[in-house]
Amino acid sequence: MRIQVTRTGGFAGIERRAEVDTSGRADAPEWHALAERVVAAGRGTPPTGVPDGFGYRITVDGRSVYCADPRLTEEERTLIRRVLKEGA
């Protein structure tokens, strides 16, 4: 499973991207379950954010959903944090 996160916005407006490929990872089932829950509950269009807040596009195996600060669910926040931290 390929999980990509693109973060846009913020005060400086700098885009950041990261991707995690779960193939061969020992913790792949955890990643899959979290990503599937986020995609199932996600929005198909970018929501209206707040000034200087971040907007996110989460793409899992080609399917994209969108979310924005400050209205992230705990699962969205967890997945975003993990991908941006561990992804390349």
pTM over 0.85: yes
Look at residue 56 in the predicted model and tell me its pLDDT: 97
How large is the C-alpha radius of gyration of the chain?
12
Higher pLDDT, 79 or 11: 79
- CA–CA separation, 64 and 73 (whole Å): 16
Look at residue 11 in the predicted model and tell me its pLDDT: 86
pLDDT greater than 80 at residue 80:
yes
- CA–CA separation, 41 and 58 (whole Å): 12
Split into its structural domains, the chain has a count of: 1
First and final C-alpha spacing in the chain: 15
pLDDT greater than 80 at residue 63:
yes
Domain that holds residue 79: 2-86
pLDDT digits (tens, 9 = 90+) for 8-59: 998 888 999 999 999 999 999 999 999 999 999 999 998 988 889 999 999 9
- Pull the structure tokens for residue 72: 């992230």
CB atoms within 10 A of CB 5: 22
Residue type, 51: P
Residue type, 70: P
